[in-house]
Structure 1
Amino acid sequence: MRRLKTRAQFQAVLAGQVVARTPHFVLHRLTLGSASTEALEPGPAALLFPTPDAWVGAMLPKRWAKRSVTRHAIKRQIYHRPEWALAAFDGHAHVVRLRSGFSTKAFPSAWSEPLRLAVRQELAQLLQRVSGATPAPVPEAA
């Protein structure tokens, strides 16, 4: 798995299709080597995505996750999902975008155990919808 780093990479993937949604996240996908990547600006897709690996990016606007602790922890959850290593994700670029905030009444702490589990469960649902594989079990809070 490789991470998206440039604005052009993110824009190219966001111009692709939405393949899955959960209450808080949206997963955008761009198939590498397709006709849509051939027409990308400002250059050929080979420059944006030089290898046919799985490419992953995370967009967490301050609008939906105001505290940096929360944004960084959610990014860690996104980038460390074992599902990205599955063959179903090779040859595709993905962006996981936070589309709504987590309730501060339900999760008062910036990064509590219940919030961590809620994020993990939604990410597992998101990736399971795309890969078709059964998600790894999420440990319950003690």
Structure 2
Amino acid sequence: MPPPVRPLVQPVVQTMVQKADFERVLATPSRSRSTHFAVHHVNGGPSASRWQRLHLGEEKLSTDGAQLGAQPVDDSHPAAPEACWLGSVVPKRHARRSVTRALLKRQIRAAMARHAGELPPGLWVVRLRAPFAPAQYPSAASDALRLAARTELEQLFTRARRS
């Protein structure tokens, strides 16, 4: 049997980095919740970084009159708001070991990549809201924990897509 045909162009998921974007998204009610995760969504793109505001002339530096020796190499423009931007919040109080936090973040990114084509564009934040029971998952990066997180995130994004 031949492998399933995948679309030639996979939707691109950008990474959110601005604190203001996280605050804006987390200020909204969650779009979908599960036992351990919550997903928040806001339409639109990320706010411009300080460098982008300076580059576009929206903000001035105190040294604006000084001559610059070299021009910046990165002349990128703010990204199109039609993309999906993902941020993840995995606090230490819910996942004490860095191995566990890294595993959960990888699972969040992978789930978003799988569902990005069906989700509306905008800013998305997935937040770990409760710890996984250490008695049930004694290893920090066990296959059982990976499977549990993947299953829960699949259900979470499926519900978020419908709402």
TM-score normalised by length of structure 2:
0.68
SS at match of 1:18: coil
Aligned to 1:47: 48
For structure 1, the 5+ residue unaligned runs are 34-44, 133-142
Aligned pairs, number:
120
Alpha-carbon distance in 2 for matches of 1:120, 1:77: 6
1:7-60 deviation digits (Å, cap 9, x = unpaired): 111111111231000000000111117xxxxxxxxxxx6526742110111000
How far did 1:130 drift? 1.2
Q: How does 1:97-136 map to 2 (within 5 A)?
A: 97-132=127-162
For structure 2, the 5+ residue unaligned runs are 1-12, 50-77
1:57 aligns with 2:58: no
Aligned to 1:15: 27
Alpha-carbon distance in 1 for matches of 2:115, 2:132: 24
Q: Equivalent pairs: percent with the same residue? A: 39
The RMSD of aligned alpha carbons is 1.7
Higher helix proportion: 1
RCO comparison, higher one (Cα < 8 Å, 6+): 2
Alpha-carbon distance in 2 for matches of 1:62, 1:14: 18
TM-score normalised by length of structure 1:
0.78
